[in-house]
Chain A
Amino acid sequence: MPRQRRLIPILISTAIFILMEIAALNMISSNGSLQRHWIARGAHRIQGTLWGGTEGVKYYFQLRKINRDLAAENGSLREDLAYYKAIVDDARLDTMKLGILEGRGFTYIPAEIEKISRNRQHNYIIINRGSEDGVLENSGIVTGKGVVGIIDAVEKHHSYALSFMNPDISISARLGDKGAVGPLVWDGRSSRRAILREIPLQYKYQEGDTVYTSGYSSIFPPDIPLGTAGASKVINGATNEIKVRLFQDFSTIRYVTVVSNTSQRELEALEDK
């Protein structure tokens, strides 16, 4: 009983202390832009570590189902492999595929998604690769069907990424093989739709034309196919805004590749100058 009597005031003090510190952090976050970013990154790191841990326990009890899924995935990958082999045999590899195979200053790390949100306005992804696997902050996440997100915070064995289904993410994209370049952003509603903005009015295109990464950002290599162009509308009489149907379906995504630009630091240093 005496121990309990001593414990209760300590618990109350600790609770008050934690509440006050949260209030102070909240004040700092609302008033300092540097601090807001710093606190957000810290919170993302903690989320990544916590969710990574709980997902590990959950996966242990789901191994049988995971094995089944892996077998199905294996079959699907074999099909894809046969398809791509046929393309190579026909010598019809386009520049994007050559880019991925040859590297061009990018490293590729295969990863598995541990947690993904799809129903929020700001969606995120947690993958099972971290700094010890060579993942760097601001690396891209891609699949064979397009761009998935950008790494925001890296822990030892897990990384937290902002999903492309996020209004803060914009990817430099090109319409067609040699077409106009503009920012591609999520449309905020569907997991399969995006909007390509700032396309000059004089640029003509056909509905169904493929949209690729432009390679003008240091995050993603050029020529990754992202989706197909759809209807357009004129914005302020100055530019076209084109609807894009994405190749990547975010509701079925599981295996991804982290792509890091080996020259990113050098490029950022140049930009800072």
Chain B
Amino acid sequence: MRGRPKLFTSYEADAAILPTSLQRWMVGGFVALLFLMPFDIPFLTGPVPRAFPDSWPILGGRFTILGSIPILQDGIPFVRFLGDSSWLRPMTEVFILAIAALGLNLLAGFAGQVSLGHAFFMGAGACTAAVMGGELGGTRWGWGLPIWIWLPASGIVAAAIGIAVGPAAVRLRGLYLAILTLGLVFIGIHLSRVFPQIAGDTEAGRRFPEFDIKLWREETPLINISSEDTVTGFFGLNTFEVSTEQKTYLFALVMVVIMTFLAKNIGRSRTGRAFQAIRDRDIAAEVMGVNEVKYKLIAFGISSFFAGIAGAMAASFLGTIAGNQWSLALSVEFIAILLIGGAGTTSGVLMGTFFVIILPELVEQVTEWLAERESGITGAIADLLLTDGGGNDFGPISEPSVAPGWALNVFDWNVVIFGVLIVVFLIFEPLGLFGIWIRVRNYWKGWPFSY
């Protein structure tokens, strides 16, 4: 019913992902913005002009308010990534890791099974992709199959492995389960050494198949992601280049939209409710008729499927990955994503992934940008914060070129920031970024009351 968001006349409406038209518009708009992001939008890149273009009616030639702020005259680091390829790669990374994080969220956030073996399942997916889609011949196995076979297959193989190790995992809970899944990671790294035919060289890895979408072993792919094409815009108004990075970004975006929808739907289905029942109290869930073994296996299977897909995509995206990269550190990164984003919430996990991947990039980029400043206010800030090895320089951040001294470099700072953030989130907002969002939303929802 229009204008009555709380009047649910069916369970479908009650469980809708986006119940109100405002939400549909906002999410739709946001996704559209993400699709537009890799393309150059002229007025949002580079420094903010000090005056409006002369050709504009009325405003032409007048000073802009933003343009008179000194820091913005140098260019805006935050919006420059529209069309800037240096931001496209991290964003693509966000999308790919988000898929894996969504999988872990179903297992750990929904079903409450803490797993440190997520990297192992990603590795399993990557290896499947390498074997099925990799180059033929040589010392490496490779069947050269097209993407629409190897991408789903990598998910399915990972899921099969997940279900295979499931029975062992189902008998354990909490800390013991974490230790068991931790073991998987080391088994995985060991296997990658034993089978160089699959995983490639221990240090250098092997080449992974590309994203090109071919119908069947065609020479000319349907969508050729690895080449740079010229695309003719609508109605011949505009022609522009679409680079490999832009196409990879778009492909990853499409995938993340599909997988988010899938994860969200699993979460609100009977299966998802069974997961939550097991998480909240497994014995109570069994009393209510939830088959614990079955649903734990399903949780492992689905979570591994997501991890497999993400692993294949990550490997393909990076080109080469050594077997020992699927390590504990990666698994822990996913736990961090869940904690910071908000375990058990789909949108929280997306926010968490964005935050965890982009924050270090941002810190790095801002530091680099500051290091180039010589004068003015930004120069003064740079002097205050950065240590470039010169005499009277006491900034806490040292530039990468400077030898290790008392100041930490950018990478060390990133680690510190993360450590602090996780502690802060665990203490003050266990629901993560999603919890903050909920608080903000509830503040306005209750307006003008507090409840």
Partners in one complex: no
